[in-house]
Every structure is written in structure tokens, then in C-alpha cells.
Homo-oligomer: A and B are copies of this chain.
């Protein structure tokens, strides 16, 4: 039986699944072969497309001799190609396109692959291709609160209105709301995401109860996501045995505690048989953890892993542990070192179903950071790499900042040298995890162009070495359907013009040369050069009248550069070898220091800040010129946000330039206005 495609609630943007993208598929004769609930989903998708575009679909248990344009089949003779659950093979011969999968999810991913190909899927011949996800776990973490948090709101670091899952203390339960959750699952499946953690890693009191007496609300979300091959995960409080269970301790080595977790986890699986597992932020920014009991993070993670083992679940243990009560006067402590110092010694101690979830950079999702040295340092641990789709530090979905190139650089980076594995390869054990940027905003992500980040997450998780511009091109093709446009080339090239370089543009007009954190404290939007300079958060730039930057060298600094394997330890150790874009992350240099680019640091600051604003002006102009080719609501929303982006970019330019001019006293070599 086909499962009906969810209805798009009124007023909600279809994102990269507008009806038109199903036209090529929907105008063909399709045969679907195989059984199971996700095959039912595939069937429903094809049936819906055919109903709109005049095609036909037949479902059989076995493929018969009749003539079809497309065959979608579950393979019947084992899995000779090693497609496993999620892979699929594609071939076209004799006028028939054939997608073969070994598992139901593979068929679903094969279907969306055809949607991406469009008419090309049904033209000419096509040699057999095998597609498998490089990473088995492709996950979104929602930092959604169940109850509205007095400071952080409904969604922590959310810039897309409310939560898709929760509203004011309750799970969303109306028909329209659950249809929207199903639609969200559909969007995610179409880009390759297969796991969602439904609540904030900062687990407050109300949310703690999702683990026990409110697990039914999680189960309802899981039911809505399951048809699209998505498993549901839950963020839990390490203190749950105390808070929820009434135990006197949450010590992982106290016998009552593993026992409590085992019983509790059993009840979770009774409610959600394919439950994905737990996400834990422990001993971090005020969250409880094993340190309270003198235990290691491996002790903590392994206890939860043991509770999940009987059911095939996984614990994602976040490596974001540092001292957020640092004294700014103390220049020897370095927050960048913390994750490595805490976790590298534990390599090999984590259980097989414990994944250590590591932010891609050593700090916290800044516009430019080096790769976390933890990623190359734990060969005997399953690592997941965490990236941030929600634009906390990159313009909060008021600025266009497509992060594909940043994530791609991170995933292609080779921590142990050019001959060794890339970050994308090192993440095979644990996967790629992104903090979601989606909410109940009509455009899903606040800024319509921020949808590109969500799409890119899924596609890079499927294939970490994908060319990001090609992923963006896919997204443009699906979202804006240039094939249906009056001027497809202008539309496509305009969208590339405003998106391709938007991350580097953002980098230009904000904090320079990898120094990071020159943002307004708390909400993190807009510039405040000294906003965190005297704070306990460990995020300093040490600018004085002579120079700026953090000395993280082994020779004279905090030694952080020494946490890297040899090639990078040496590259980062000296200003002469350090890449320009990370110079101030690793070194404190005089304003007159000459970059590899040939400019001085101070002139680079001035130049990039003037240039960055110019690029925003140009992007705004390009976007305005697409008005006739873009859906009016989508165009208007983005046009309005460009006004704010330009205002904010000017503010960044002026504050940064003025700050460094006042400090350095060096005038702009090109005589532009600095206040």
C-alpha cells in the first residue's frame, strides 16, 4: 500500500521539493517491486507524482515482463554489491531506468537521486553506477527546547522562528503540525539525512522528562519521521537518575545508576523500537557529567552505551568540554586545547556503540577555525564531526552565508598529512552531525537562501568529498527549478553569484584572520570587538597598541599548535608558515606584519572590511535583479534580509576598522573613511 505524501501546510515553502521536480518521474510508467514500510513511502511518492503529471505506477512482488520506463526494485539475490541498507545501483538500458537497492532506505535514496537527475534520468543509456553513503550516520541535532527558555527561547541559537517539534512546553500534535514534521522528514530524506535528535543538548528540567514519563511525545515524532528512513535520537541529562529517578547519585560506577539507565532505556525502546540513541553534553557549560563523581568521560559514555547495546542504539558523547569560568588574566590556559586534553588520552577506551562527537574546530563554530586536533588523534575511537547549520556566528540567517565551502574544506582536511585520511574518512565511524537551522518559519530556515545550508549538510554527509558548488547547483536546480524558468541561465548564475562566495564575503567584513569571537556577548549577533575580551569564556584576541592575536605556538605560546600531527604542528608553529586566514588564531603579531598576500595585517583588515561590504552591496544588487524569476514571497523575504545584512556589514566594517585604527594609529593606505 502506498503511504500518502504529506500535505504541505498552507503558506509553507516547499524548499527543494516543489511539485515540478517530480514531473520527469511523474510522467513515466514505473514499476515498484519490494515490500516494507519505506517501500510504501516510495510507492506513495511515485503515485503522487503520477497523479500530478500523468504517469502510471504498478506495485508487484516480483518484476514481470511488461514494459516500464522505470523500475524501482529491492534486490532479490542477496547484496552482491554491498549496498547494505542505504545504497542503491542505477542503470539505464533499452529505454528502462532501473534502481536496485538491497534495503528499503536504499530505494528511497535512489528515488530522490532520480528526482535530482530530472529528465536526464530517462535519456540515453547510463552505465551501472553504485551509490552508497560514505557515512552511515548523517544526523541533525535540534537545539530545540520543549518549554520556552527564558534566555534562549524555544530554539537555542534558532533563527527560524519556533520549533518544528515543540511549542510552549508540549510536543506538536495537531494534524497540520505532524504533517509538517513528516514533510521535514521528506526534505531530509531527499538530501540524505537519516537521524534526528529532537531536543537541545542543554537538557533543562522539562526536557529531562522526555526520557521517561514523556517518551510518548518523542514516539509521536519518531512515527512521523520513520517513513522517510529517519531514526530519532534524544538528548538526555547525565543527572537523569537523580533528577528523574530519585537516586542519590548519577555516578556511572555506582551500581544503581547503570541499572537505572538499563531499565529506563528498555522502556524507551518499548515505545520506539528503532530509537537511535542518546546525545549527551556532559561537564560542559553548566551541564552535569561524570567529573562530578571523579569519573572519566569514557566511564560516563560507556555506561550509557551499555544500556543501549541490547537494542542496537548509540550514544553520542559530545567532546565540547572546557572551562567556561576562565580568568581572562591567565594567558596560559587555552580553551582551544581543552577537547584534546580531555579526550585524546581516552582513545581506545570508548565502547563500540559510543561515538565521540567533536566540533570541527577547537573553539565554537567561528567563521574560520583550524580543524580540531582531536579528530586526528583518536584512531581507536568512533568519531562524529559536528558542524553548525544554524548560523549562530555566521549571520544568524539574516546574512547570506552558504557554509558548503567551509564544511567541505573541513571534511577534506587531512590531519595527519597529505597521504593520510581526510576528516571525512576519519568520521566514518561516527558520522557527520549538524546543528539544524530549521524551524517553523514558513521558509523553514528564516532566510530562504539558508535552506542551501540544510541541503548541503545532507549531501556532504552522504559524500564528504563532493564538490560543494555541485551540491549547491543541485539545490538550485531543485529549489528554483530553472528548467521551468523564463531565463534559466540568468537565474542559475545569479544564485551562484550570491551564494558561492558568501562565506568568504562574511569572513571579510567580520573578525579578521581567524581571530574569532568579536561578537556581541550573549546573542552573538553583530560586532563587539572587546565583547568577550575580559569575559570568563576563554575567547580572547589580546589586541593592544602594537599587535593582535593569540600565541598558540609551542615555542612561546599555549602549545596548542603542538596538539597537531607533524605536518600541521610545524605549519601552524610559526607566522611564516601559518596560512594567512588562521594567522591570528595561532599567533600574536604586530600590525605591520606582512602576510603571504603581501599586505600588512592592519591594511588587510581595512581592505577586507571595505571589500566585504562592497560584495554585500553587489549581492544585494544581483538578488534584486532576479525579482522577475523568483517566487515573490521568497524574493521579498530575502530582499528584506539583504537590507539588514548590508546595515550589519557596514556596522562590522566601521567598528572593526575604527577599533584597530584607534589602537594601531596606522591610517588606511588608501585613504578611505575610518571613524
Contact = CB atoms under 8 A, between A and B. Distances in A.
Interface in A394-436: none
A545 B602 CA distance: 15
A544 B663 contact: yes
B544 A655 contact: no
A528 interface: yes
Interface in A527-546: 527-530, 534, 543-546
A329 B546 CA distance: 24
Contact of A528 (B534, B655, B659): B534
Interface string A641-665: 0000000000100110011011111
Contacts of A659: 530
A665 B543 CA distance: 12
A659 to B, nearest CB: 8
Contact of A665 (B528, B545, B661): B545
B529 A662 contact: no
A166 to B, nearest CB: 20
Given A528-B530, A530-B528, A530-B530, A543 B655 contact: no
Contacts of A528: 530, 534
A675 interface: yes
A675 B328 CA distance: 9
Given A529-B530, A655-B534, A545 B329 contact: no
A329 B654 contact: yes
A192 B643 CA distance: 56
A545 B664 contact: yes
A662 B534 contact: no
Contacts of A328: 675
Contact of A544 (B329, B529, B662): B662
The oligomer's copy count stands at 2
Contacts of A534: 527-528, 651, 654-655, 658
B675 A329 contact: yes
A545 B667 CA distance: 13
Interface string A542-572: 0111100000000000000000000000000
A665 B329 contact: no
A545 B543 CA distance: 12
A545 B675 contact: no
A519 to B, nearest CB: 12
Contacts of A658: 329, 534
A63 to B, nearest CB: 63
Contacts of A651: 534
Contacts of A661: 544
Nearest to A150: B150
Contact of A543 (B329, B529, B543, B662): B662
Nearest to A330: B675
A531 to B, nearest CB: 8
A546 B662 CA distance: 8
Nearest to A527: B534
A204 B659 CA distance: 37
Contacts of A675: 328-329
Interface string A60-86: 000000000000000000000000000
A527 B535 CA distance: 10
Given A528-B534, A534-B658, A545-B664, 4 more contacts: A530-B659, A534-B651, A545-B662, A546-B665
Interface of A: 328-329, 527-530, 534, 543-546, 651, 654-655, 658-659, 661-665, 675
12 contacts: A328-B675, A527-B534, A528-B530, A528-B534, A529-B530, A530-B659, A534-B654, A544-B661, A544-B665, A545-B545, A545-B664, A662-B663
Among all A-B residue pairs, the 8 with the closest Cβ atoms: A544-B662, A329-B675, A530-B530, A545-B545, A534-B655, A545-B665, A545-B663, A329-B654
